[in-house]
Chains A and B, each alone.
Chain A
């Protein structure tokens, strides 16, 4: 049976940056996913650039995707700028989608 953390990561893969059309996991935007014993979920994430115009939409999408999982209780999304995003944080699939 899939554990909740894996379900959260799967759900996050359904959230796409609409400009790049790459999901937030492959784009390397998700830094940490913490799941407590009482199924509270805390996600720490970043964006490719501070002041990304899709700031609110993407963080909202991350929250909605996790809230859509039945077992989760409270969801907290922390947006951080340190450490800053860099291309090294992307997955091989993300780089492939960029034509790299």
Chain B
């Protein structure tokens, strides 16, 4: 039987675009700050206002804003439900953007006055969580993607909550005995909870879409979810009770969840119709393999005496080679799509319009992204072996690549 379906759930492309443009500007500014203050970083001085500012611009201004923008675009697509309130979305954008911009600026010029911008930023993130909650509750049939994205949002909330607890603990001495546990939980929830679960969830929509895969099983996604979320909970518990066996069990479950995810994505890719995949999308797939290796290395390192010294560089690798590389790979697909929708969706069928591939200079993807991966490894090994010269060169290349990637994405707007 044929069931007519006329409901469209396209978001006004200006909304996700606002987030993405802001995020790219934040990315460029963060890297300029790192380059300008390069000498301090090389000398191992990270705790300076410029670096605080750069770190927050990178993690909140770029990664969080890009994730929010992508969600405004992808949630209606993946869940077949329109955004609850687009006007509220624009207000949320302005509150968050002003919050992050002033917060980062204050960290640079006057860190002790960063509280009010911080509250503004927090309000923006809470507004986003409210918007997503209202949107997703309208979904007719929740599925495994709902579980991934919903859990990612819960982790984002916990990250913020734990972050505020950290600041409060520092200022008042509240729960001082648990400061380290709260700090580790803040990182776990932010990095592996929020970002990884979000990328997992949307990968199940984007991978089949960009590879035109058909007839693949989805049962593995349940195991990925079960294993990974159990891993998060057990690791979190281990931080508070200090049991090393529990920590190993948690890391093992995280590794198992990630490995099943990699295996499942490889099954989906094998079922693809599109023989030649786009380069940027291929790098998003490479990021999965790298994330899996980092999970394995982190698990193995638990048996080493140097575990506490290794964990920092591992978090760095995980952030850059899994999360940032995935986001960048998908950005090269999402931005041309948004601009195409804005500019050509009313022209299609009337006159010849460009394909999405023609919106982006694909020839620069392989050299730029390869350089990115090499530079990240260079920085990782320089931290590990304490080689200042390699760190200096690696960080310079990395910042330059970030800036070039941001510019090449922004160039789409000229098409």
* Residues of A bordering B, CB below 8 Å: 11, 14-16, 18-21, 31, 44, 48-65, 68, 78-83, 86-87, 95, 98-100
Contact A15 B4 (CB under 8 A): no
Given A18-B340, A49-B208, A61–B349 Cβ distance below 8 Å? yes
* Interface residues on chain B, size class: 35 or more
* Chain B contacts with A in 1-32, Cβ cutoff 8 A: 1-6, 8-10
* Residues from chain B with Cβ under 8 Å of A14 in the complex: 349, 352
Contact B275 A99 (CB under 8 A): yes
Given A16-B355, A78-B2, A98-B212, A56–B8 Cβ distance below 8 Å? yes
Q: List 21 A-B contacts (CB under 8 A).
A: A15-B348, A16-B348, A18-B344, A19-B209, A19-B210, A19-B355, A51-B9, A51-B80, A52-B77, A54-B337, A57-B344, A57-B348, A64-B349, A78-B2, A78-B4, A79-B6, A80-B5, A81-B3, A81-B5, A82-B2, A82-B3
Contact B273 A87 (CB under 8 A): yes
Given A49-B208, A51-B78, A55-B10, A60–B346 Cβ distance below 8 Å? yes
Q: Is B366 an interface residue (CB 8 A)?
A: no
Tell me whether chain B's interface is mostly helix, strand or loop, or mixed.
loop
Contact B355 A100 (CB under 8 A): no
How far is B76's CA from A86's CA once the two chains are assembled, in angstroms? 23
Contact A18 B356 (CB under 8 A): yes
Given A20-B274, A60-B345, A53–B4 Cβ distance below 8 Å? no
* Residues from chain B with Cβ under 8 Å of A60 in the complex: 345-346, 348-349
How far is B5's CA from A21's CA once the two chains are assembled, in angstroms? 24
- Closest A-chain residue to B10, C-beta based? A56
* Chain B contacts with A in 349-367, Cβ cutoff 8 A: 349-350, 352-357
